[in-house]
Each structure stands twice: as C-alpha cells, then as structure tokens.
Structure 1
Amino acid sequence: MGYFAHHNCYALFKTAIWEFETVEEFEKSWYEAFEISQPSSKEWFEEMYKLRGTWIPAYVKQYFSAGMSSSQRAESMHAFFKRYCSKSNSLMDFVTHFNRALAHLRHEELVVDHGEWL
C-alpha cells in the first residue's frame, strides 16, 4: 500500500474519531473506514475499538475536561509532580513536598479566581 493509500486511511479514521458528535455517527464512520482501509494490524484497531468508550470524543463528551485530552491531563500532572517532587525523595519528603505543592496550586487558583481581592 502506497503513501496515498495510507494517507487516505489515516484521513478516514481521523474523520471518524474527531468529526462526529454522536456515537451512532462515529460507529458508522469507523466501520466504513475499517472496511475501506483493511488495516494490516487489525488486532490493534480492534483493541482500540474495544476501548472507544474511554477515548473517542463522541463517547466522553459528557465528562467535563476543560477542553483537554487525557494525554494533556496526564502531561500536566507529570509536570506538576516534576516541579515539586523527585524520585530520590523519601516517602516523608514526598508527602511534605506534595502537600506544599497542593497548597501552592490552591493559592494560584484563588489568585486567578479572586486576584484583585487578594
């Protein structure tokens, strides 16, 4: 399969994932993309389909996420922990640093919410 065929398959799946608001629209589009593309790694696509309820926007749109994807939230949390904690910390150090980090985060949120009043 050449570049253009792969590019077309990518575009079909991308559309199925991102362009439809309802579960029914996604299901129809995913099935059509799968049938047209006949991916070489069917097992991977089948596993991704089984997990669709955790990552396809049509399934998870009812959960508030402030417009962030799950990977963005995870990266944000990793950055948060890296800023305050080290893998060389003891458990007691970790708890102390974590509590300070939460206090700092809460203070920053208060400033954003009520900045002119603080």
Structure 2
Amino acid sequence: MSFSSATSPLTHALLRNVVMLVMLTDPSWAGLDHYTELDRVNGWLIERKQGADGALSCRAYLPSGASWFSSNIHLDVRGELVVPAGRRFEGDQQELEAVREAIDRCSRDFLYLPR
C-alpha cells in the first residue's frame, strides 16, 4: 500500500466536509454579532456589527496594534474623543468631523458607501 492511497480517503472526507461547510455558510451572517471593517477615514478604522435584533452598532478607532479596542484612541458612543493613558492624539478637529460623519452614515443606513 502506498502512502498516497492510504491518505486519499481521509483527504476526500476532509474535502467533502469543507465543501459542505462552505455551501451551508450563509454569507449574510458577515457582520452579525461581530464587527467587520467598512472603511478607513484619515487612518481611522470604521467598523460595524449588526445585532440579532437588526440594530446597527458602529465604532471608529485609530489602530495601534493594541489588543483591545479600549486601548486604542477611539470615539465613544457620544462621538467624543477617548485617548487612553499613555497615548497622544495629534489630529485636528477637521479629521474628527470626517470620522464622526462616517460613523453617522454607518449608523443611519444599512448601505454604507465609502466617500
């Protein structure tokens, strides 16, 4: 018995399972209960998730390599700038207004088109 013939049934079984998983995965689940990237505005990452109830939740932050959202410079739910301890924000008001406008468009409509 050769090595390739011994692994062939296992390979075929795994391939069948992967194909079934892909066929049964609904692409409309993207962004459901987890954040997905929508846009980048002046270096800020705009993300959105949709709750099971259909409610849209958007957020914006400056990616820094930190492992938690709250460790990054971000906008809070009121659109106010949050700068974690030890970090500095060197942007300007015009930059923040562009990000706030993107968050507003993200929250307002299911269809988000980058500008």
Structure (1/2) with the larger strand percentage: 2
TM-score range, shorter chain: under 0.3
- Normalised by the length of structure 1, the TM-score is 0.27
More helix by share: 1
